[in-house]
Amino acid sequence: MTLSELVRKARQAKVTLLGVGPVSENAVLAALEVAREKRAPVIFLASRNQVETSEIGRGYVKGWSPGEMADFIRSRADGTTYFLERDHGGPWQRDEERKPYLPEKEAFSRALVSYQADLQAGFHLLHIDPTRRKNTSAIQVIQDTVFLVSRIESIRKSLSLPPVEYEIGTEENYAGVMTELALEQFLRNLTTEFERANLPRPCFIVGQTGSLVKMDYNAGCFHPGAAKKLASVAEKFNLGFKEHNTDYLEEYFLLQHPACGITSANVAPEFGVVESRVLLRLAVEERWLKETGKIKETSGFQEVFITRSLESEKWKKWLDRAEEKIDLSNDYWQWRLTAICGHYVFDRSEVKEKRNLMMRNLRLLYPDPEEFVREKIRRCLRKYILCFRLEHFLMN
């Protein structure tokens, strides 16, 4: 089944596809396992900070290039139906491209190098997101989108690679709701420009439904009525409607996604938070083993994990205005901030070394401590599979 066929089937059946951010190796494995268990498809969507070509600098997840991530998933898929997506591809989408702000020519050149690596890795879907340009506008976004897709199509054809699907638009990272009029006008102008340039019609349009991820909760306000209207606009243009920032939404709202016509929804940081919380819990259990004399020394994982997480300062991007008084010397804040950004440092050598030592100690309590971690992630994934009505979807 191709991605376009999957999207068409999802729209007809009124189910919501699940996009999973590959925030860690365990998250990838857990997603494959749950998808296989529930007979559901899964879309792996990698940001440029997570997975990137070595020509640019790779990412924080396993140091994977697009090809290496694709090879890993392919080797572990075992019959699971999966698709690979570049999430938020485009200029200025890596942290170091925004600070300092790269010149336009260099930013676009790097974006195209990244997209070429995705094409060569066999990615099925490319998110075209040029909205990081300073002082941009809807017209400029359309122009940049058309330029990028035109160049990507030229690269793809020159390399004799198969067709790829495109996702356009962005969630803008604020808790707002796009108006029907704004979305329809944007899509009318964009599709006109795509037809003029003889480009393939996009597969997805991203729209703002009111959701917004901050810290370890959804700080937005999901609007089912507005989402349904926006999805209807996308339907007019024969596009799937995509929601980002779905993490942490209440099940009450998740259950409404299929009925609202949301074709696909992305979840990423939540899985990293789940894993980090489990690791912090296991560190407490390891300390208990020492206190009860079952082991001589702890691994030192907790201290290193917290220190490296806080030093990364990745937690700053998730702060909400409600968190105004943060005290890094306070145990509560150390634990909470580590939970929200720990996944950024999972693959640092010192953290991995201490984690492996901790897991060896914990075999006194668990036959396979890493399997215990994955089961916690699987529980979270099952919630989305069930709410989105994806269970046994591939068998229907």
Q: What is the pLDDT of residue 322?
A: 67
Sequence letter at residue 75 = S
Q: Is the pLDDT assigned to residue 273 strictly greater than 90? A: yes
Mean pLDDT of 36-65: 96
Q: Is the pLDDT assigned to residue 93 strictly greater than 90? A: yes
Would you call 295 exposed, middle or buried from its count of C-beta atoms within 10 A (0-12, 13-18, 19+)? middle
Which residue from 328, 216, 200, 201 is spatially nearest to 272, judged by alpha carbons?
A: 216
Question: Token pair for residue 304?
Answer: 């290193």
Mean pLDDT of the chain: 94
Distance CA 34, CA 170 (A): 28
Q: What is the pLDDT of residue 173?
A: 42
Would you call 189 exposed, middle or buried from its count of C-beta atoms within 10 A (0-12, 13-18, 19+)? middle
Mean pLDDT of 350-362: 98
Percent of the chain having pLDDT more than 70?
97
Instruction: Specify the pTM.
Output: 0.94
Distance CA 376, CA 30 (A): 9
1: confidence class by pLDDT, cuts 50, 70, 90 = confident
Domain boundaries, given as residue ranges, for the chain: 3-267+377-395, 273-365
pLDDT per position as a tens digit, 210-250:
899 999 999 988 999 999 999 999 999 999 999 999 999 99
Cβ–Cβ under 8 Å, residues 354 and 304 = yes
Mean pLDDT of 148-156: 98
172: confidence class by pLDDT, cuts 50, 70, 90 = low
Length reported for the chain: 396
Distance CA 95, CA 48 (A): 9
Distance CA 104, CA 106 (A): 6
Would you call 37 exposed, middle or buried from its count of C-beta atoms within 10 A (0-12, 13-18, 19+)? middle
Q: What is the pLDDT of residue 320?
A: 85
Question: Token pair for residue 279?
Answer: 């690791």
Distance CA 188, CA 340 (A): 39
Mean pLDDT of 105-125: 98
- The domain at 3-267+377-395 falls in which architecture? Alpha-Beta Barrel (3.20)
Mean pLDDT of 324-328: 82
Percent of the chain having pLDDT more than 90?
88
DSSP state of 241: E
Sequence letter at residue 346 = F
Q: Is the pLDDT assigned to residue 63 strictly greater than 50? A: yes
Q: Is the pLDDT assigned to residue 276 strictly greater than 90? A: yes
Q: Number of C-alpha atoms within 13 angstroms, CB side, residue 44?
A: 30
Q: Is the pLDDT assigned to residue 136 strictly greater than 90? A: no
Q: What is the pLDDT of residue 176?
A: 45
Helix 104-121 × helix 138-158 angle, to 10°: 50
Q: What is the pLDDT of residue 321?
A: 73
pLDDT per position as a tens digit, 74-91:
999 999 999 999 999 999
- For residue 44, give the H/E element and its range: strand 42-46
Cβ–Cβ under 8 Å, residues 43 and 388 = no
Question: Token pair for residue 137?
Answer: 């506008």
Distance CA 101, CA 107 (A): 9
Dmax (CA) of the chain: 73
Q: Is the pLDDT assigned to residue 117 strictly greater than 50? A: yes
